[in-house]
C-alpha cells in the first residue's frame, strides 16, 4: 500500500530524529521472516529501548542524511530494517545477534557506530560491548584497585608483627 507524501515526510522526520539521538545502528535484511517473527523481534527491541523500523531505502537514505549514520547509505539496498540503539550502544547488536541465532532469515548487512560503518561480521563486537552499568563497574573497580592495594601494603607490617607474636606464643606454649 502506497503512503502519501505527508506520511513519508513524517516518517523521514521521525527516523532522522531517532538517528540524531542514537548511539549505534544496525541495518539488517529481513526477507523470509514471518509477521509473527517480526512481532517477536519488535517486542524484544522495545524491551531493550531500541528503535526498530522497516523503511524504504530512499526514505531511509534521506532520514540518515546529515547524521552519524549517513555512512550506512551504501548498505541500504534491498528490503532493509533499521535498528537504532537509544540508551546502550550495544543493545541493538545484542538483540539482533540473539534473534538471528534462532532465525537465520535475519541477515545483518551493516553496523554503524560513531560515524563509521562496519561490515556484518562486526555485530559480534558491538554485541559484546559492556552496558553502561557494566562499564561504570569496571571503571570503579579499576579506580579502587590502587587504593585497596595501598591500604593492604600499609596494613601488612602490623599484620606480620601480630602473626610473629602469635607464632612465638605458640612455640613457647608447645615447649
User: What pLDDT is recorded for position 1?
Assistant: 57
Instruction: Reply yes or no on whether the pLDDT at 28 is more than 70.
Output: yes
Say which residues have a Cβ less than 8 Å from residue 64's Cβ, sequence separation at least 6.
15, 16, 19, 70, 72, 73
Tell me how far apart the terminal alpha carbons of the chain are, to the nearest angstrom. 98
> Which uninterrupted H or E stretch holds 112?
strand 107-113
| CA–CA distance, 113 with 82 (Å, rounded to integer) | 13
Average pLDDT of the chain to the nearest whole number: 89
- Is residue 37 within 8 A of residue 124, CB to CB? The reply is no
Q: Which fold has domain 5-129?
A: Alpha-Beta Plaits (3.30.70)
**CA–CA gap between residue 77 and residue 68 (Å, rounded):** 19
Grid cell digits, residue 75: 548498505
Per-residue pLDDT tens digits for 88-117:
888 999 999 999 999 999 999 999 998 889
pTM of the model: 0.74
Kind of pairing, strands 107-113 and 24-29?
A: antiparallel
**C-alpha span between 67 and 73 (Å, rounded):** 11
**pLDDT, tens only, 137-159:** 888 988 988 888 888 888 888 88
Amino acid at each position: 500500500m502506497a503512503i502519501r507524501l505527508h506520511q513519508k515526510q513524517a516518517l523521514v522526520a521521525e527516523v532522522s530524529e531517532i538517528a540524531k539521538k542514537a548511539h549505534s545502528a544496525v541495518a539488517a535484511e529481513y526477507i523470509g521472516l514471518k509477521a509473527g517473527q517480526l512481532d517477536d523481534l519488535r517486542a524484544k527491541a522495545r524491551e531493550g529501548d531500541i528503535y526498530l523500523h522497516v523503511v524504504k531505502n530512499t526514505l531511509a537514505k534521506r532520514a540518515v542524511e546529515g547524521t552519524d549514520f549517513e555512512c550506512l547509505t551504501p548498505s541500504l539496498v534491498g528490503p532493509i530494517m533499521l535498528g537504532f540503539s537509544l540508551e546502550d550502544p550495544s543493545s541493538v547488536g545484542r538483540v539482533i545477534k540473539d534473534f538471528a541465532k534462532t532465525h537465520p532469515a535475519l541477515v545483518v548487512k551493516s553496523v554503524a557506530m560513531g560515524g563509521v560503518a562496519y561490515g556484518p561480521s562486526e555485530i559480534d563486537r558491538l554485541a559484546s560491548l559492556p552496558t553502561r552499568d557494566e562499564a561504570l563497574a569496571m571503571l570503579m573497580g579499576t579506580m579502587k584497585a590502587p587504593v585497596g592495594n595501598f591500604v593492604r601494603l600499609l596494613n601488612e607490617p602490623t599484620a606480620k608483627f601480630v602473626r610473629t607474636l602469635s607464632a612465638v606464643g605458640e612455640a613457647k606454649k608447645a615447649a
